[in-house]
Structure 1
Amino acid sequence: MSTWSPYDMNGGTCVAVAGADYCIVAADTRLSTGFSILTREHTKVVTLSDACVLASAGFEGDRKQLHKVLGMRQQVFAHNHGGKPMSCPAMAQMLSNTLYFKRFFPYYTFNLLGGLDKSGKGAVYTYDAIGSYERTGYACQGSGQALIMPVLDNQLKSASPLLYPPVSSATPLTEAQAVDLVKDCFATAGERDIYTGDAVEIVVINRNGVRRETMPLKLD
């Protein structure tokens, strides 16, 4: 008897890590259905503004539609506010509203939103399929989540949001160390998860803007 996984429909893995003055959002580039690889060079990451990036795992049709809707609403906001882009916390709330509006026939996507907040600190927002979300110091979504989250928990040890007075959830790692950690996570997941592979696209957001880099993974 075969078992069906929700990630059989295009799948993918996304990771985000927030630092004191940066945020890293990464996703693999494999697009597959079951054991069939449709393309090895497909981005799952979209830049919504100079301080906000979205990565989505799940069904490709819903992912493209969601990214299109968010891009359109970001442009409308900018036109209505003299060219000023939406802040990352505002974009996080808008994404939640967008997903919740479709809750009875939801987008089959699992999203991570990363960027800088108004004070320039890294922010990561993780979502379920119908819009419930929280701000964390790091997060993972997609088929490689069970493999990557224990590594992130071990290495980053985010403070509990229940602590009072509040403690920053941002990782103490430098930007270069956090990038290396993300690369190690994807290299590990790529060895054991058939839906994660080919390459990992890493997007770094800091006060200088947004930059991208790519690291090859296993091709089988």
Structure 2
Amino acid sequence: MNSIMAPVAIQEPGNYHAKGPIPESRVAPVAGHGPMQANFSPYMDNGGTIAAIAGENFVVLAADTRLSLGYAILSRDNSKMSALTPKCYIASSGMNADITTLHKVLKMRAVQYQQKHGKDMSCHAAANLLSRTLYYKRFFPYYTFNLLVGVDNEGKGAVYKYDAIGNIEQVPYASAGSGSSLIQPFMDNQVGFKTHQIIENESRTVEETVEFMKDMFSSAGERDIYTGDAIEIAVITPEGAHIEKFALKDD
């Protein structure tokens, strides 16, 4: 922090009643008496964890509901996901204000697309819309880390992950947020089988994937203070989507 020094007189012993101007050489600076200048820091991290797994004809998206700031819990029931279309969802972690704004912008664009073309935006189109929206804000980016999921035109599950300025990658599974470092190795081992020499069964059913999500978030909630309270789980299939809630520890 920069501060402006204010001058203070240094008087010599036995000369307390001297009159006249104080010589410039006898003026010493004192910190804390001038105007203070603060650094501009508009961002904050409100914690939380999101994860997604794509299946053959479905995709499962999960996000916890805790909203934190430092050691304070601001809300225990804050949703981090939004529906852009009946078959396309987005979940975000990072700064809650930017998450709310980004989701509002994307939902507005999805409605405009539907009204203009008479049909819902495809998952692939929504993924590119999010990428371009983030890149447009690259000089003052949304402080969000996003996963966009849905069912593509062939009925297969799709997961897209991003960085803060719109770099996009389609992956079979992904995670982001404060608990990502705990969840991602688990997914690499049990979903990607990256540490297995023999793979017996590569695919899971919808029910098995949902239970797997619950196990992962329960484990992360034991170790990450910013993940907890509950998780929202969205299961998206060619027929549509449904959401269920699962309670986590609330301490």
The question of a shared fold, defined as TM-score above 0.5 by the shorter chain, is answered with yes
Structure 2 residue 241 is the aligned partner of structure 1 residue 210: yes
Query: 1: distance between equivalents of 2:51 and 2:154?
Result: 23
CA shift in 2, pair 1:50/1:192, >3 Å: same
Number of matched residues? 202
* C-alpha displacement of 1:8: 6.2
* C-alpha displacement of 1:207: 2.0
Amino acid across the alignment from 2:165: I
Query: Equivalent of 2:230, from 184, 192, 199?
Result: 199
Amino acid across the alignment from 2:164: A
Query: Equivalent of 2:83, from 47, 51, 56?
Result: 47
Query: 1: distance between equivalents of 2:241 and 2:193?
Result: 24
Query: Equivalent of 1:85, from 116, 120, 124?
Result: 120
Show structure 1 runs of 4+ deviating over 4 A: none
Secondary structure at the counterpart of residue 242 of structure 2: strand
Structure 2 residue 180 is the aligned partner of structure 1 residue 180: no
Query: 1: distance between equivalents of 2:193 and 2:215?
Result: 19
* C-alpha displacement of 1:133: 1.0
Give 1:1-220 correspondences, 5 Å limit: 9-82=45-118, 84-157=119-192, 172-220=203-251
Query: 2: distance between equivalents of 1:31 and 1:157?
Result: 30
Query: 2: distance between equivalents of 1:203 and 1:158?
Result: 24
Query: 1: distance between equivalents of 2:242 and 2:234?
Result: 6
Q: Percent identity at matched positions?
A: 53
Question: Comparing both chains, which one has the higher relative contact order based on Cα–Cα distances under 8 Å and sequence gaps of 6 or more?
Answer: 1
Secondary structure at the counterpart of residue 203 of structure 1: strand
Between 199-208 and 95-104, the greater mean CA deviation after superposition:
199-208
* C-alpha displacement of 1:38: 0.5
Residue equivalent to 2:39: none
Given that 1:137 and 1:158 are in contact with CA atoms closer than 8 Å, whether structure 2 keeps it comes out as: no
Taking structure 1 as the reference length, the TM-score comes to 0.89
Name stretches of at least 5 consecutive residues in structure 2 with no aligned partner.
Answer: 1-42, 195-201
Secondary structure at the counterpart of residue 204 of structure 2: coil
* C-alpha displacement of 1:51: 1.0
Name stretches of at least 5 consecutive residues in structure 1 with no aligned partner.
Answer: 1-6, 160-170
Please list the CA deviations of residues 2-45 of structure 1 after superposition, one character each: whole Å capped at 9, or x if unmatched: xxxxx962111000000000011110000010110001011001
Q: CA RMSD in A?
A: 1.3
Query: 1: distance between equivalents of 2:86 and 2:203?
Result: 23
Query: 2: distance between equivalents of 1:8 and 1:189?
Result: 21
Please list the CA deviations of residues 80-123 of structure 1 after superposition, one character each: whole Å capped at 9, or x if unmatched: 102x0100011000000000000010000000001101100000
Whose radius of gyration is greater, 1 or 2? 2
Taking structure 2 as the reference length, the TM-score comes to 0.79
Query: 2: distance between equivalents of 1:142 and 1:200?
Result: 14
Residue equivalent to 1:168: none
* C-alpha displacement of 1:208: 2.2
Secondary structure at the counterpart of residue 231 of structure 2: strand
Given that 1:12 and 1:28 are in contact with CA atoms closer than 8 Å, whether structure 2 keeps it comes out as: yes
Query: 2: distance between equivalents of 1:115 and 1:72?
Result: 18
Secondary structure at the counterpart of residue 42 of structure 1: coil
